[in-house]
Amino acid sequence: MATGTFTATVSATRGPDVTDRYFHYYGDLAVSAAGDTYTTGGAVCTIAGKKLIGRGVPTKVEIWDEKAAAQCAYQFVVGSNLTNGKIVIRGQQPTATPGKSGSVAFAEFGSGVAFNAANMGVSAATLKFKATFRK
């Protein structure tokens, strides 16, 4: 199994929303192969696609799952360039305490957790994003 990654592809058909200070880009977020594993602290995310207008790295990235039964929360951590941001995944994780059952509410995935249907369906998610860049 390889280390899991994400690729954020900016929509080729939808231009950026422009405000006085920011450019807002929308697109799809692809997850690497099912079975790839998560690394604590976040999986690397590359922002790709058409030429981005704006300064450097995004100031904010919102991520959501288009499926109604989304079971994870995704948080983007800005990197030093467009190829080394990270996505932290939180979901209900089974407790590791012997003799106890249940789950921990929205704990970060641990290193080695596979991107598959058994782990909150990360590999089957329909992820979208909005990236905000300063003008």
How does pLDDT run along the chain (135 residues), one tens digit per residue?
688 888 888 888 888 888 889 999 999 998 887 778 889 999 999 998 777 877 789 999 999 988 756 678 889 999 999 999 999 988 876 666 656 666 666 788 888 887 766 655 676 778 899 999 998
| Under 8 Å between Cβ of 112 and 38 | yes
- Residues contacting 86, CB < 8 A, separation 6+: 41, 42, 43, 44, 45, 76, 77, 79
Distance (Å, whole) CA 34 – CA 49: 23
Sign of CA dihedral 114, 5, 3, 34: positive
| Under 8 Å between Cβ of 5 and 86 | no
